[in-house]
């Protein structure tokens, strides 16, 4: 298990290198640069800017410089948010995204899993149709629609909760963004859990368990749920990585200082260093999450072992 983990971590290094290299050159190939804007700059000023950010050097040299700095853990300064380094921006934003995203995933699991199980057990009943119909609606309605409606109803009309703002992560400020972020996840998880539960309930070992005379409760709790969790688990890896790196929509609507918006803003601004910083960070997180999921697999399914 330990050797497997180490092997996977080592394999992550070339993966990340490829990701970084491709992103670096893709970013430079994209038309427009970090200093192109509505106002054309006088040539001497553009020259100053390019020199200050080493953009006047040949591309391979810029690449080597970037990789060299990266090895020393230096992501460089942001081109746009100049009082912060990229490291500072990620360090300030990630805990916020992690908190919102983590709570949203937790909420999604707490609600989505039981809903999926209940729907599977009451297959084709009124309960099933209601749960799955609602879930379908949850998937279909994007969060840029849900979020403003939540803000309008609970923030403006009822005035129970703040319509936006972070306020240092105070509980009232967390409620709406966490709900808005989790609705789609609840829907996905519920549907996935239902499908996999139905499949498991139809398998031979469940029939055997029932034939042994186990109570229905025991059959479900001891034999059905654990294997049914496998597909949900493999979905959770990338989903968690995605959700804890923030959502640009939720962050902008509720004014939350997470890192989600950097993915979009940095690319639009051609903020090269910030784009690279978020790519490296997100890439590493995906690799880590996938590894965790694979390790969790073996805990859930005794047939999966990573001994050699």
Q: Does 24 bind another protein (CB under 8 A)?
A: no
- What is the smallest separation between the CB atom of 282 and another protein, expressed in angstroms? 17
The Cβ-side half-sphere exposure at 146, using a 13 Å CA radius, reads 18
Q: Which is nearer to another protein, 94 or 188 (CB)?
A: 94
User: Of 81, 128, 231, 285, which one interacts with another protein (CB under 8 A)?
Assistant: 81
Interaction with another protein in 247-306: which residues (CB under 8 A)? 251-258, 261, 268-270
Handedness of CA 226, 245, 181, 137 (dihedral sign): negative
- In angstroms, the Cα distances linking 222 to 6, 49, 214, 219 are 32, 65, 10, 6
Q: Any contact of residue 171 with another protein (CB under 8 A)?
A: no
Rounded Cα distance, 111 and 120, in Å: 14
Alpha helices by DSSP H, the chain: 2-29, 43-52, 59-71, 86-121, 126-140, 143-150, 171-201, 204-211, 216-218, 225-244, 248-254, 260-269, 272-300
Per-residue mark of binding to another protein, 233-252 (x: CB under 8 A): ------------------xx
Task: With H, G, I as helix, E, B as strand and everything else as coil, classify residue 85.
Answer: strand
Tell whether residue 212 is a contact of another protein (CB under 8 A): no
Q: Closer to another protein at the Cβ: 165 or 231? A: 165
Is position 145 an interface residue for another protein (rule: CB under 8 A)?
Answer: no
Q: Can you give the binding site for another protein, defined by CB under 8 A? A: 31-33, 35-45, 47-49, 51-53, 80-84, 88-89, 92-93, 147-148, 151-152, 155-156, 159, 162-166, 251-258, 261, 268-270
């Amino acid at each position: 298990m330990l050797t497997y983990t180490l092997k996977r971590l080592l394999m992550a290094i070339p993966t990340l290198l490829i990701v970084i290299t491709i992103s670096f050159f893709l970013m430079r190939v994209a038309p427009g640069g970090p200093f192109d804007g509505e106002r054309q700059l006088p040539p001497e000023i553009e020259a100053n800017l390019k020199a200050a950010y080493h953009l006047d050097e040949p591309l391979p040299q810029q690449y080597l410089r970037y990789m060299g700095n990266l090895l020393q853990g230096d992501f460089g300064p942001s081109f746009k948010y100049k009082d912060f380094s990229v490291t500072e921006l990620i360090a300030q934003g990630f805990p916020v995204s992690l908190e919102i995203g983590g709570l949203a995933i937790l909420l999604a699991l707490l609600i989505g899993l039981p809903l999926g199980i209940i729907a599977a057990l009451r297959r084709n009943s009124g309960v099933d149709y209601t749960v799955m119909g609602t879930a379908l609606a949850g998937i279909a309605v994007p969060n840029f629609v849900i979020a403003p409606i939540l803000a309008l109803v609970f923030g403006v009309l009822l005035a129970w909760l703040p319509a936006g703002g972070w306020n240092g992560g105070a509980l009232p400020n967390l409620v709406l963004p966490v709900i808005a972020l989790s609705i789609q996840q609840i829907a996905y998880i519920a549907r996935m859990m239902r499908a996999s539960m139905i499949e498991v309930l139809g398998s031979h070992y469940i029939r055997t368990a029932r034939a042994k005379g186990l109570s229905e409760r025991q059959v479900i709790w001891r034999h059905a749920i654990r294997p049914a969790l496998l597909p949900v688990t493999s979905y959770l890896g990338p989903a968690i990585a995605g959700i804890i790196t923030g959502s640009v929509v939720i962050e902008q609507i509720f004014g939350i200082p997470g890192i989600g918006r950097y993915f979009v803003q940095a690319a639009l601004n051609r903020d090269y260093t910030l784009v690279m910083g978020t790519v490296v960070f997100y890439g590493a997180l995906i690799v880590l999450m996938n590894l965790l999921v694979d390790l969790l697999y073996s805990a859930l399914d005794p047939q999966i072992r990573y001994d050699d």
